[in-house]
Amino acid sequence: MYAQMVKSEATQDDPEALAAFQARIDAGEKIEPKEWMPEGYRKTLIRQIGQHAHSEIVGQLPEGNWITRAPTLERKAILLAKVQDEAGHGLYLYCAAETLGVSRDELTEALLAGKMKYSSIFNYPTLTWADIGAVGWLVDGAAIMNQVPLQRTSFGPYSRAMIRICKEESFHQRQGFDIMRKMANGTKAQRHMAQDALNRFWYPSLMMFGPSDKDSVHSAQSMAWKIKMNTNDELRQKFVDQTVPQAEYLGLTVPDPDLRWNAEKGGYDFSEPDWTEFFEVLKGNGPCNAERLAARQKAWDDGAWVRDGLMAHAAKQRSAPIAAE
Amino acid sequence: MSAEWPLWEIFIRGQHGLNHRHVGSLHAPDAELAMRHARDVYTRRNEGVSIWVVPSSAITASSPSEKGPMFEPSQDKVYRHPSFFDIPDEIGHM
């Protein structure tokens, strides 16, 4: 997902306090920032929410790439609004992470130093306009699968950020589907572009949910703490079941020869993505990892004088009336 | 490294004349920019007709560990709720 393979931190707290904490979570209570929480809960959440926030921000890059080249003024305005939403989602999430005692600048620096990650999906390039459709339809569609249950997560500020995000996310998926629909009903060349975008984004989208449950060792603690609400395989299955009929409607073919409806389980059987590729992308060897981080680093460095200058201006304004007296 | 922009808490009054409500926080160098950022971050879908920005450092919060002494005394004053009193049916709405 936007937060893939978040390792649960070990916790070494008093067993009695831990049990009382778990009882609060089991009773459906929300945990608020200043309340007692196990160190492992705090650290796992910082990592997960931080990774989610970084994904929103880095996720602006592949789409921002097409703002100046959108085919019509209307598409351009829509894409601009969508990318602006992603910035907003990043900010809601950084704020939620900050309530746990980490600062936004610390999070940004951890990302730039390679100590924190963002979703693997944003390391793939957006080569054609149809890719913008595929990103909205598939990538935002996969994100929604994960984010809707996270609205019920146990940590109050995270839950509230998710509620805001989910309200806005549906626009993102629909605008993507709308682009795909236009392309799929267009000229032969446009149909070909739509199919090509689906071919390239299908497996990377399936990877967004993280490795198979049998290889996902950190899930149990996070699920007990309600900071992970479903297993990776559950969400992936749900995503495939929802998306295949949409692809059929578009007249596009999902690039999986083994995709089949399984009446017995009431869902599709489908091929696993190439997990070797997934781990390579996470290690930094995907097609765009270096480019994405370089863009973030450049924005951080080039913005330094603006951040400093505005602070200096604010300090000057504060002291001005005193100087005048 | 430069100093981080301070944190502001954002309160928004929605369309229907209700109280300003806390919606989240953001970083800004001063109140004027906090206001502009609040507009962009928290009212992109016409959520508000008025914004307050308050430095987070100016907020004093009740302590979670004193939740008991702070709020429990109100629990044994059920007579504050109108349903505590029986009103005969013949009286009708009161």
Ordered DSSP codes for A295-323 = HHHHHHHHTHHHHHHHHHHHHHHHHHHHH
Residue A225 has which token pair? 């703490």
Q: What is the mean pLDDT of residues A213-242?
A: 90
CB atoms within 10 A of CB B78: 9
| pLDDT at residue A253 is higher than 80 | yes
Q: What is the mean pLDDT of residues A204-209?
A: 97
Domain range for B41: 1-57
Tell me if B33 is assigned to some domain: yes
Contact A30, A99 (CB under 8 A): no
Ranking A8-22, A202-216, A299-313, B21-35 by mean pLDDT, the lowest is A8-22
Q: What is the ipTM of this complex?
A: 0.87
B26 reaches A (C-beta below 8 A): yes
What pLDDT is stored for residue B3 in this prediction?
86
- Where does chain B show beta strands of DSSP type E? 7-13, 21-27, 50-55
What pLDDT is stored for residue A217 in this prediction?
67
| pLDDT at residue A197 is higher than 80 | yes
Contact B25, B4 (CB under 8 A): no
What pLDDT is stored for residue B16 in this prediction?
84
B34 reaches A (C-beta below 8 A): no
Tell me if B31 is assigned to some domain: yes
B60 reaches A (C-beta below 8 A): no
Q: Place A323 in a pLDDT band, splitting at 50, 70 and 90.
A: low
CATH of residue B5: 3.10.20.520
Strand partners, B25: B9
Q: Average per-residue pLDDT in chain A? A: 94
Contact assignment for B29 to A311 by CB distance below 8 Å: yes
Contact A282, A4 (CB under 8 A): yes
A84 reaches B (C-beta below 8 A): yes
| pLDDT at residue A212 is higher than 80 | yes
The string of DSSP codes covering A280-296 is: HIIIIISTTHHHHHHHH
Percent of chain A at pLDDT above 90?
89
Q: What is the mean pLDDT of residues A134-149?
A: 96
Tell me if B22 is assigned to some domain: yes
Contact assignment for B64 to A34 by CB distance below 8 Å: yes
Q: CA dist A189 to A129, A186, A246, B10, Å? A: 12, 8, 21, 49
Q: What is the mean pLDDT of residues A166-180?
A: 95
Nearest Cα of chain A lies from the Cα of B1 at a distance, in angstroms, of 9
What pLDDT is stored for residue B75 in this prediction?
86
Ranking A26-35, A83-92, A150-159, A216-225 by mean pLDDT, the lowest is A216-225
Tell me if B75 is assigned to some domain: no
- From chain A, pick out residues whose CB is under 8 angstroms from the CB of B2: 304, 307-308, 311
Tell me if B78 is assigned to some domain: no
What pLDDT is stored for residue A321 in this prediction?
67
Q: What is the mean pLDDT of residues A303-313?
A: 96
What pLDDT is stored for residue A13 in this prediction?
79
Tell me if B45 is assigned to some domain: yes
Nearest Cα of chain B lies from the Cα of A197 at a distance, in angstroms, of 30
What pLDDT is stored for residue B73 in this prediction?
87
Nearest Cα of chain B lies from the Cα of A64 at a distance, in angstroms, of 18
Helix ranges, chain A (H): 15-26, 39-58, 60-64, 73-98, 104-112, 129-134, 140-150, 156-184, 188-207, 219-224, 232-250, 275-280, 289-302, 304-324
**Each residue's pLDDT tens digit, A147-165:** 999 999 999 999 999 999 9
Number of domains in chain B: 1
Tell me if B28 is assigned to some domain: yes
What pLDDT is stored for residue A324 in this prediction?
55
Percent of chain A at pLDDT above 70?
95
**Each residue's pLDDT tens digit, A45-61:** 999 999 999 999 999 99
**Each residue's pLDDT tens digit, A64-114:** 999 999 999 999 999 999 999 999 999 999 999 999 999 999 999 999 999
Rounded CA-CA distance A301/A198 in Å is 36
Contact assignment for A91 to B26 by CB distance below 8 Å: yes
Tell me if B13 is assigned to some domain: yes
Interface test with B, best of A29, A32, A34, A95 (most B CBs within 10 A): A95
Nearest Cα of chain A lies from the Cα of B5 at a distance, in angstroms, of 7
Contact A209, A236 (CB under 8 A): yes
The whole-angstrom distance between residue A273's C-alpha and the CA centroid of its chain comes to 19
Contact assignment for A311 to B5 by CB distance below 8 Å: yes
Query: How many CA atoms are closer than 13 Å to the CA of A296, on its beta-carbon side?
Result: 26
What pLDDT is stored for residue B64 in this prediction?
81
Q: What is the mean pLDDT of residues A187-208?
A: 98
B45 reaches A (C-beta below 8 A): yes
Regions of chain B short of the pLDDT cut 70 = 1
